[in-house]
Amino acid sequence: MTLQDSLRTNAQDVEHMLDRLLVAGDGPEARVVEAMRYGTLNGGKRIRPFLVVHGAALFNATPTGALRTAAAIEMVHSYSLIHDDLPAMDDDDLRRGRPTTHIRYDEATAILAGDALQALAFEVLARPETHSDPGVRAELVVALAAASGAEGMVGGQMIDLWAEEHDLDIATITRLQRMKTGALIRFSCEAGALLGKAPEAARQSLTAYAHDLGLAFQIADDLLDETGDEAAMGKRAHKDADKGKATFVSLLGVERAREQASLLADQAAAHLDSFGDKAAPLRDLARYVVERRS
């Protein structure tokens, strides 16, 4: 199976799981569940779920547990996009070629949909269907909370907003991205290791992979924002440049940023040597994230 096929199959599996977990009732509160579905079931590439599922497969964790965990991570990722798109934050009206959630519904509903997605993510992780060992479920909750809270994703978004009025150097921008997008990517890999009760050394290799992959992913994102095709991306390009925000590309230049991303992807793949052929999908993914066009 090619990586493209494998990404597509995985995206379908996680979409199906999300569809099962996001069920609207029939009271007036159903509106918030509809908005949760709208903001989540939107045909994303599902790279984080791919990391969970193929990471978990290295340690023979159950597919259902991996898919539930992948769905929980997509819920957190989606809630962060819904909130980041709000007028008070990045003020975006288009995402993946569709109106953003607060445009399609309204701001209040978008805020609430994000809030409820976060709650549901933790509920899904903590339920017995995710893993037979409650200790593993509690560890998953702690790790997702740490990755997505003030010392992870939310803290990164706070620095990103601060950056609109301050000049960033390469060290601060690296830290920003390790928190804003890197932490959840790292948790996606860590989750596979937790689900499979991986030995410490294997877990560290996977975390090292995630670390380099996350940064490569972000530099590639900055390159797309600078040079990419709006139609293919389904969102506005040049957003950062328009706001005068520093990015890896504005600091390093297009050429050096491209080299840096490629180097990080190779480095990420090399961390997986000890897993042999079983880790081929994760190695292929590292190449894919720096070569994608959208």
**Residue ranges that bind a second copy, judged by CB under 8 A:** 25, 27-29, 31-33, 36, 79-80, 83, 86, 88-89, 106-109, 111-112, 114-116, 118-120, 122-123, 125-128, 133-135, 137-139, 141-142, 144-146, 148-151, 154-159, 161-162, 166, 172, 175, 179
Three-class secondary structure assignment of the chain: CCHHHHHHHHHHHHHHHHHHHCCCCCCCCHHHHHHHHHHHCCCCCCHHHHHHHHHHHHCCCCHHHHHHHHHHHHHHHHHHHHHHCCCCCCCCCEECCEECHHHHCCHHHHHHHHHHHHHHHHHHHHCHHHCCCHHHHHHHHHHHHHHHCCCCHHHHHHHHHHCCCCCCCHHHHHHHHHHHHHHHHHHHHHHHHHHCCCCHHHHHHHHHHHHHHHHHHHHHHHHHHHHCCHHHHCCCCCHHHHCCCCCHHHHHCHHHHHHHHHHHHHHHHHCCHHHHHHHHHHHHHHHHHHHCCC
Which CB sits closer to a second copy, 8 or 197? 197
Shortest separation between residue 200's beta carbon and a second copy, angstroms: 18
Residue 48 beta carbon to a second copy: minimum distance, rounded to whole angstroms = 16
Which C-beta is closer to a second copy: that of 158 or that of 270? 158
Give min distance, CB of 255 to a second copy, in A: 29
Nearer Cβ to a second copy (178/203): 178
Q: Could you tell me how far CA 70 lies from the centroid of its own chain?
A: 10
**Cβ-based nearer residue to a second copy, 156 or 228:** 156
- Smallest gap, in angstroms, from Cβ of residue 89 to a second copy? 5
Q: Which is nearer to a second copy, 88 or 232 (by Cβ)?
A: 88
Q: Nearest approach, Cβ of 118 to a second copy (angstroms)?
A: 5
Least CB distance to a second copy at residue 183 (A): 11
- Least distance to a second copy, CB of residue 64, Å: 17
Q: Nearer Cβ to a second copy, position 18 or 265? A: 18
Q: Which CB, 61 or 112, lies closer to a second copy?
A: 112
Phi-psi bin for 27: left (phi > 0), alpha (psi -120 to 50), beta? beta
